[in-house]
Each structure stands twice: as structure tokens, then as C-alpha cells.
Structure 1
Amino acid sequence: MAKPILVIHGGAGIIPRESLTPEMRQKFLEGLENALKAGWNKLGTGCSATDSVAAAVACMEDSPLFNAGCGSVFTRAGSIRMEASIMDGATRQFGAATQLKSTKNPIQLAQLILEKQPNTHGFLCGEEAEEFGALHNLPQEPQEYFKTERRWKQHLEGLELDKRPQVSEDFSVVGPKGTVGAVALDVQGNLAAATSTGGKTNKMSSRLGDTPLIGCGTYAENGLVACSGTGDGEFFIRSVASYDIAAQMKYGGKSVQDASKFTLKSIEDLGGSGGLIALDSEGRFAMPNSGGMFRGWIGQDGVPHTAIFVDEEC
């Protein structure tokens, strides 16, 4: 029997200490703790790693603090476009969805796809994806549900900074880059990974990122590693980041720590930035990041551990 463990992230970026008030920092830490507890409520009672990562990610999707679900950023046109993926390391089957506008919890749609049709329609897009979710009674919400005051302000400030279809890199305007994610090892020794995002602030509505792409933003393989990434999506795609970690471990014999650091360095060398969480089959994990990442983990004692800034232990 393996010792279960859950590791999460809530986005990465260059996060200056002065960018977060003590009150906001505490809110983020509480949000991470809530997600860890939600995932541990599954993992710690013998549920699968897949159920655990889905629960942790759904909890962050339900918080306006994180760039996923109800906290998703806006496109240039002022609309919402979300995406998510999940992978079961035991079978290497996955579920993924993108271009979502009304699904309350995109990770639940990804998990539904994984459970219902992983070998025939594993990656769904747009209206048909949401119709599939609604057919199976997944909650749908109007656009107003996703329109938080904080994200709308970031949207307007971003438009003023740059009228072109690219995101500002100013943390005070756009907040942490990218996504929420989770990786887990369950008592059966199975690994799983899940990732969800609202994408880039003021992106073009048709843009797709690395989050729903298996091997880029998400990957899990039993006996090896489970990974979830956050940051500059195009660079994670170019690096095939999550699978790059797995390949280094599988074919090069690297540790999860060394492989993760190497992959992030490769992304940075290309001009990108972000962060990764990676968990191996023995419960060892890594959390490398370019300049800060909302992150945490929880193990057998049920005590959540969280951190934000790059120099903080977790």
C-alpha cells in the first residue's frame, strides 16, 4: 500500500511581496488549504487519485481568487473561455475540454469525459462539449456568474496597457499566470493529474493553451510521475513540458526534482516562465517555479502545507 499524498498549485508568475496585502495573502493561503482539504477528503478515505485531484481543482474553480472556474480571466472581447484536463496514470486515459463558456466546473466535465468516452472522444470543444456535460447533469452557469469585479478591472487595465492580443506581464494588473492544478498518489499506488484554467488575460477568444493538451500542461503515468503546469502556455507546448519530465525520468533515470528543474529551465531558456508540480510513484514531489507559485501539499497526517513566494519553504 502506498502512502497517499496530494500536491496542488494555484498559478505562478513573478510575485513580488508588495503585490499582496497581508489580507490578500491570507485569503490565497486559505484558498489553497481549502483545496487541499477537499482533495484529502477523497484521498484520505481511500478514494482514487483521480477523484482527489478533481475535487481539489473543483474547489479552486469555485473560488474567485484563482484563474479557473468562477475566477477566470476575460478575453479581449470581455467573455469567458475556460479549459481543463485530467489524466489517470493507471490507464493513461484522459479527458479534456476547451472553449467552455458556461460549465461551472470544467474539471468535472473533463472527468466525465474520462469516465464515459476516453478512447473515442477524449477531447471535446465548445458547444458540444458543454451539451455533453449538461446531458449528464453537470451544472451550467450564465456568464454573469463568472464576471467578478477583480477580473473585470484587470481586463480593463490590460486593454489600456496593450490593445494587441497579448497579455500584460505586470503582476499587479493580471495576477498570477495561468492555471490551477493537482497531482496525487493514492493508497493503491495510482497517480493522477488535473489542470484547469481561464487562460490568458485579454487573450483572443479562439486561443487554446497548454492546459487541455496531454503531455504539455498535464500528464500522469503509473510507476513514474504525475505533472501539472502553470505559466506561459505556448512555451509549455513547445517544451511538451509535462511529458518531458516523465521522459527524463523514464529514459534518463532522473529524479522528479532534477527532471522538473531541467524542464522549467528549458522553458525559461526559450523565454517563458511559470511553475510545475510533479509527484513520483514513491511520494516524492517537486514544485519548481520562476518567481513564485501558489502551492501546497498534504500527506498522511492530514496537515496542509502552503506557500506563495519563491523563497518560502513548503
Structure 2
Amino acid sequence: MERKTHSRPTALVIHGGAGVIERDQLGADDERDIRAGLDAALDAGHAVLASGGSALDAVEAAARALEDSPRFNAGHGAVFDAEGRHELDASVMEGHTRRAGAVAGVTTIRNPVSLARAVMEHSPHVMLIGAGAEAFADTRADIERVPNAYFDTPHRRRELEQAQARERADAGNAGDLKGKYFGTIGAVALDAQGRIATATSTGGMTNKRWGRVGDTPLVGAGTWADERCGVSGTGWGEFFIRCAVAHDIAARVEYRGDTLQDAIDDVILRAVPTLGGDGGAIALDRAGNVVMSFNTSGMYRGWIRPDGTRGTAIFRE
């Protein structure tokens, strides 16, 4: 007698950054392109899940699609630092094994999320930085290196010029950074085996100095996955580090029995703003519940729920 197997429903949620995103400042063409980029990432991740692939493969595929788009602050669309160059950070985490990998301050890796995965799977370490991470990349034939100028885009150059002009006008003080970024991309997936994985990638903050690293490559701050849920954050990284945002959300689910929505809202809408930070996060649990929360005027985001319904959003629709 033939034995039937029943796979569980799958789910995917992605983000492309949170910050001051006003309707009257986002043209129709820009909005169309951003939504198209989000849809392309959903398609890439969902194709993996629909074919029975792993959550880890799905979040890498979705994150790579966002990294390859010039519309998001990761990979090809990464912001410029104060020296007019790009330093990129990324991390991945697999929930059911708690394996994780991360890279920070890399400058020639086309898809940092893939290097983060390689660190997880092919090194004894969790995080590699700078020149060491790139030396490790040289040992991997599947990691593509590119010139730093590959990441240049005209609108990111304008953002750097505007940030430096504001800084000069403010006598060298960086001033209030709240909302002054569209930072980070991320993905969380649930596969047909009930496994969860998370990936997060960023170019950091415009005009950053001194090798600044935010929350994105820090496991527990910008990225987390366990057997219950996965979380990817986006926002003012210093505050996400101080609040251990991604792990705090998951801990509220595990230890207090909070719903994922209550947990994410508690952290994003209360804990982070209380300290003076802002941003957002996406998450899903092993039942396929997709949640998204942000305290800024907008967050680029997209989702495919277990029932197959999907969508993208930018503002507070």
C-alpha cells in the first residue's frame, strides 16, 4: 500500500528597510520599482519552498534578490560610507539547529548573505570581519567577488552628499539620525518540514565612519531563529543592539508565552522608542503566522502566507 506524505504549509516574509518614507516624496515610478523588487524576492524564496526546499535556501534566495536590486540598502544598492566606499554586513541563522553565520565590513562580496552562510557551514566560526572574511571568501569558489564600485548607485551618492552637507552645516555633529536611512533587507521562512530560518543584510548607515557595524550581523540583535520563530530587524542599529531586539522578541514568545504579534509590538513600539531609537521588524512562527511591526512612517515589506495569499506594502496600509 502506497504511503501518503503530508507536508506542512510554508510561509515567507521579507523586508527592504524602514525609515522616513513619505507618500509625497515617493514617486509612482519609484514605488512601482520597489514593489517589483519585493515581488522578485518573494518569487525567489517561494520557488524554493514550493519545490520542497529548505527555509535556509529560501531566505538566502530572497535576500540575494534584494541584494541584487539597486533599490535597497544591501548589495548593489548599499549606501556610501564617509570615505565614499561601501562596507557590507550580513547574517543567517537556522532555527532548528541554532547554527548561525555572519560577516561584517566586507567590501568586495557581491552577495554578503551567501558569504555569511558559508561561514556558518564551512568554518568553525560564527562571525568573520573585513579582510579576514574576504580571505575566507577566496577559499570558496561559489562566492563572487566584485570591485567596490559595483555597489555604487547615483541615488546613494546623492544621499551621501546630502548627509555630508547637513553634517558641515551642523559643525561636524551628525545630529539626529532618527529615520535618516532606509537600511537593511531581511527574510524569514518556514519550510514544509516545519523549519525556520532568517537572513539579514545591509550596507549600514550613510556616511558611517571608523568601521561602524550595526545590528545586522549580530546574532540576537538584528537576526534570530529558533524552533519557535524567526526575526529580522531593520532600523537604527545601535538601539537594536542595546535592546537585543531579535532575541528579545523570540524570548517573549518562549518564556512568557506571548503571541508573536504582542512580542514584536512590545519591543518595536515600546522598548526601542523608549531608548530613543526607531525601526521595524518582521517575524513568523512555526504555525506560519506572519507579523510585521514598525514605528517609522514606512517599511518596505512583503509576505506569502500559508494559504498562498501574498502582498507587498510600504506605508501603513
Structure 2 length normalisation: TM-score? 0.93
Pick one of 241, 257, 280 that aligns with 2:261: 257
> What amino acid sits opposite 1:289 in the alignment?
F
What's the CA shift string for 1:208-241, capped at 9, x where partnerless?
100000000000001x110000000010001000
> What amino acid sits opposite 1:78 in the alignment?
G
1:66 equivalent in structure 2: 72
Q: How does 1:159-198 map to 2 (within 5 A)?
A: 159-163=164-168, 164=172, 166=174, 169=177, 175-176=181-182, 178-198=183-203
2:294 equivalent in structure 1: 289
Pick one of 114, 117, 120 that aligns with 1:114: 120
Q: Do the aligned partners of 1:167 and 1:202 also contact (CA within 8 Å) in 2?
A: no
Pick one of 275, 279, 287 that aligns with 2:280: 275
Residue 19 of structure 1: how far off its partner (Å): 1.4
Cα distance in 2, alignment partners of residues 109 and 167 from structure 1: 34
> What amino acid sits opposite 1:246 in the alignment?
A
What's the CA shift string for 1:255-276, capped at 9, x where partnerless?
0000000011210111111000
More displaced 10-residue stretch of structure 1: 162-171 or 233-242: 162-171
Q: Which runs of 4+ in 1 moved over 2 A?
A: 163-171, 299-304
Q: How does 1:1-314 map to 2 (within 5 A)?
A: 1-117=7-123, 120-137=124-141, 138-163=143-168, 164=172, 166=174, 169=177, 175-176=181-182, 178-222=183-227, 224-264=228-268, 265-290=270-295, 291-300=297-306, 304-310=310-316, 312=317
Structure 1 length normalisation: TM-score? 0.94
Residue 302 of structure 1: how far off its partner (Å): 5.1
**Aligned residue pairs: how many?**
305
Residue 44 of structure 1: how far off its partner (Å): 1.2
Residue 301 of structure 1: how far off its partner (Å): 5.9
Q: Do the aligned partners of 1:10 and 1:66 also contact (CA within 8 Å) in 2?
A: yes
> What amino acid sits opposite 1:103 in the alignment?
I
SS at match of 1:87: strand
Distance 1:301 1:39, change over 3 A: same
Residue 165 of structure 1: how far off its partner (Å): 7.0
Distance 1:166 1:281, change over 3 A: farther
Unaligned runs of 5+ in 1: none
Cα distance in 1, alignment partners of residues 122 and 51 from structure 2: 24
Cα distance in 1, alignment partners of residues 250 and 47 from structure 2: 28
> What amino acid sits opposite 1:31 in the alignment?
G
State the superposition RMSD in angstroms.
1.5
Residue 286 of structure 1: how far off its partner (Å): 1.1
